[in-house]
Structure 1
Amino acid sequence: MFDDVFKAAEAVRVISQAWLFPANVRLLDSREAFNNGFGDRQRSVVVLAFENADHPVDAWMDRALAITKDFVGNSIAMMQRAAADTAPVQPRPGATPLSACRTT
């Protein structure tokens, strides 16, 4: 959560340019955050998600959270992740490995 929406926007820019490739990164201003059940109408929220069926993405998330801290963002994700079971998710049987996928 960010007290300053412009600091939040800078954090999103740096995350986007850091070759982290998040599955989702979205900036919600204080009103939109409140309307979606986040925050207190005073702070902006950056929604950040990484996903991969092939390997853990903890290092990417940790780097992105470090970037948000550089811009005075307060993260509750680290507390939630520390409390949650962080065992890697196993791909479903028969799933195509990511390394075998091609994009055109």
Structure 2
Amino acid sequence: HARALADIREHGLHGERGDLQPMTHEVLDTFRALGAIQKRNGLKAARRYIISFTKSAQNIKDVYELNRLAFSHPEDVPTIDVIPLFEQLEDLQNSV
């Protein structure tokens, strides 16, 4: 998620300053898919967003920022519950 945000900051959300990486498009499309599912089927249909190898609270913040950036209109942004997975005890301890 940090790489996708860096890509957007470098090239612009719509690639105004160069092409976005395919991975960035994929991340944004994932949030758009969540939004479409929620719009059709309600919030409970797709609300959880799990991030593996979480290192810090910044990783969680990045997900919420990308979710917001994926949509032109604030009312279209899906409600998500970010679920961090701390695979390393040290990362969990450092996240507090």
The structure carrying a bigger helix percent of its residues is 2
Larger Rg: 1 or 2? 1
Q: What is the TM-score with the length of structure 1 in the denominator? A: 0.31
Q: What is the TM-score with the length of structure 2 in the denominator? A: 0.33
